[in-house]
């Protein structure tokens, strides 16, 4: 049985137990590498459900495992991706049960702007391939919104600019603020949470996601995949006004409408009251002109009627129309009488035709009906002389052969 206190020499060398040597290694390594910065390429990045990050850092020859606990990764302003070159700072730790070592990461930064740009392009291509930028999914921006949701920092200049534009252009619109962080660690999660809150409401007509200008690092929250997917999933149309005109973020591509600045985003979301008043005035003038035109044309028509012969001599007009009516009545009377005469002739003809087929009248003229076996005999060859028969005259019936 192993003795953890075993301490002796073998062939002149001190003998250690596995636990002892692991403890010695842990003490030496952690003492020497208590605070180190290591540059390398991320691989096998896995965000755990617990919030911790697990990944490897590698170069052309070696790989080292890394762990970043939730309390520290909350301060990272971007989401690491496989293939990204970064600088991690932390300490070297040893896990004795497995005899393995890893870097306990306290902070992580991309190795220059180039790495962020590469991550940006990679995510852009990924979402483009999935169809998140397709025009077919873009929702229509309403022309006259009643409520606009704002996802921005209430402490930033962008918020002040947008509220100023709203008051000037369309003061009756209601702004619903969903404040969030727009820069630094946790900003992406904060933006997503604000979008979720606004999408819980059914009275929002359009959402504006906005912030002022800044560096690529400053705007990075709007390049995060979780933000892009939340914008795409929004049931309300989304306008993005992020940075300056030259700034394009992933959020801009996914949004239903992209604006170069926050102020322009608000201008695109609402109409200009001055333009509306001008349009109303123009429509009003146009309607007045059309109504006046109709009145004038009818006035001329009335004047023409008033000056006509018929209007000057109303009794003559009445007499003329009365005569026309009399003529029409005579024509109608003649037509009706003629029609009745024709119908009477037709009825008389049909009556005579029907009477000519009356069987009594036929018998009265000397004809006889012959019947055998309850059937009338209409031909000589149908008459059977051996059978009794019945003769029907006009004045009675006669039975023969009974």
Find out whether 206 and 142 touch, Cβ atoms under 8 Å. yes
Find out whether 185 and 214 touch, Cβ atoms under 8 Å. no
Q: Mean pLDDT in the chain? A: 85
- DSSP letter for 64, please: E
Rounded Cα distance between 196 and 213, Å, is 24
What is the value of pTM for the model shown?
0.58
Find out whether 164 and 265 touch, Cβ atoms under 8 Å. no
Rounded Cα distance between 240 and 282, Å, is 33
Write the DSSP string, 181-246: --SSTTHHHHHHHHHHHHHT-SS--EEEEEE----TTTTGGGG-HHHHHHHHH-SS-EEEEESSTT
Question: Residue 2 pLDDT more than 50?
Answer: no
Question: Residue 360 pLDDT more than 80?
Answer: no
Identify the residue whose tokens are 């349009």: 279
- Give the per-residue pLDDT at 8: 56
Q: Per-residue pLDDT averaged across 45-62, rounded?
A: 89
- Give the per-residue pLDDT at 1: 40
For 262-272, what is each residue's pLDDT tens digit? 999 999 999 98
Question: Residue 45 pLDDT more than 80?
Answer: yes
Lowest pLDDT segment from 1-15, 97-111, 140-154: 1-15
- Structurally, what CATH architecture does the domain formed by 16-111 represent? Beta Barrel (2.40)
Find out whether 181 and 191 touch, Cβ atoms under 8 Å. yes
Q: Which one of 3.90.950.20, 1.20.140.10, 3.40.50.9100, 3.40.50.10550 gives the CATH number of domain 120-271? A: 3.40.50.10550
> Helix, strand, coil shares of the chain as percentages rounded to 5?
45, 25, 30
Identify the residue whose tokens are 């008033």: 306
Query: Which ranges in the chain are annotated with CATH 2.40.50.140?
Result: 16-111
Q: Which run of H or E residues covers position 298?
A: helix 273-307
- Give the per-residue pLDDT at 82: 86
Q: How far is CA 139 from the centre of its chain?
A: 6
- Give the per-residue pLDDT at 165: 95
- Give the per-residue pLDDT at 96: 77
> How large is the greatest C-alpha to C-alpha distance in the chain, in angstroms?
165
Question: Residue 3 pLDDT more than 60?
Answer: no
The candidate with the shortest Cα–Cα distance to 267, out of 198, 215, 206, is 206
Q: How far is CA 320 from the centre of its chain?
A: 69
- Give the per-residue pLDDT at 312: 60
Q: Per-residue pLDDT averaged across 3-19, rounded?
A: 64
Lowest pLDDT segment from 98-112, 232-246, 249-263, 311-325: 311-325
Question: Residue 135 pLDDT more than 80?
Answer: yes
Query: Which ranges in the chain are annotated with CATH 3.40.50.10550?
Result: 120-271
7-16, 193-202, 211-220, 306-315 — most confident range: 193-202
What pairs with residue 210 in β-bridges? 241
């Amino acid at each position: 049985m192993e003795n953890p206190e075993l301490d002796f020499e073998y062939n002149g060398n001190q003998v250690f137990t596995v636990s002892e040597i692991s403890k010695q290694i842990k003490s030496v390594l952690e003492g020497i590498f208590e605070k180190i910065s290591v540059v390398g390429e991320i691989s096998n990045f896995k965000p755990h459900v617990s919030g911790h990050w697990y990944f490897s850092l590698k170069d052309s020859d070696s790989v080292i495992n890394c762990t970043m606990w939730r309390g520290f990764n909350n301060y990272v302003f971007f989401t690491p991706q496989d293939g990204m070159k970064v600088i991690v700072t932390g300490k070297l730790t040893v896990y004795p049960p497995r005899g393995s070592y890893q870097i306990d990461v306290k902070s992580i930064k991309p190795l220059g702007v180039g790495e962020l740009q590469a991550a940006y392009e990679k995510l852009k291509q990924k979402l483009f391939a999935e169809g998140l930028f397709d025009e077919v999914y873009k929702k229509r921006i309403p022309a006259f919104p009643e409520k606009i949701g704002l996802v921005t920092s209430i402490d930033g200049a962008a918020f002040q600019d947008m509220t100023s534009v709203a008051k000037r252009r369309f003061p009756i619109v209601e702004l619903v603020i969903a404040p969030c962080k727009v820069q630094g660690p946790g900003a992406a999660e904060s933006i997503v949470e604000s979008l979720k809150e606004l999408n819980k409401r059914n009275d929002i007509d359009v959402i504006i996601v906005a912030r002022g200008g800044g560096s690529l690092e400053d705007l990075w929250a709007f390049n995060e995949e979780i933000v892009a997917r939340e914008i795409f999933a929004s049931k309300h149309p989304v306008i993005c006004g992020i940075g300056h005109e030259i700034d394009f973020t992933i959020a801009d591509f996914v949004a239903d409408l992209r604006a170069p600045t926050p102020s322009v985003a608000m201008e695109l979301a609402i109409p200009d009251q001055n333009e509306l008043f001008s349009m109303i005035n123009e429509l009003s003038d146009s309607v007045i002109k059309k109504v006046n035109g109709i009145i004038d044309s009818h006035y001329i028509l009335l004047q023409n009627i008033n000056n006509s012969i018929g209007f000057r001599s109303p009794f003559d007009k009445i007499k003329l129309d009365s005569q026309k009516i009399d003529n029409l009545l005579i024509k109608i009377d003649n037509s009706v009488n003629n029609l009745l005469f024709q119908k009477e002739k037709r009825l008389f003809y049909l009556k005579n035709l029907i009477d000519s087929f009356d069987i009594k009248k036929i018998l009265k003229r000397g004809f006889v009906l012959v019947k055998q076996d309850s059937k009338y005999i209409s031909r000589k060859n149908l008459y059977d002389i051996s059978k009794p028969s019945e003769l029907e005259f006009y004045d009675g019936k006669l039975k023969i052969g009974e």
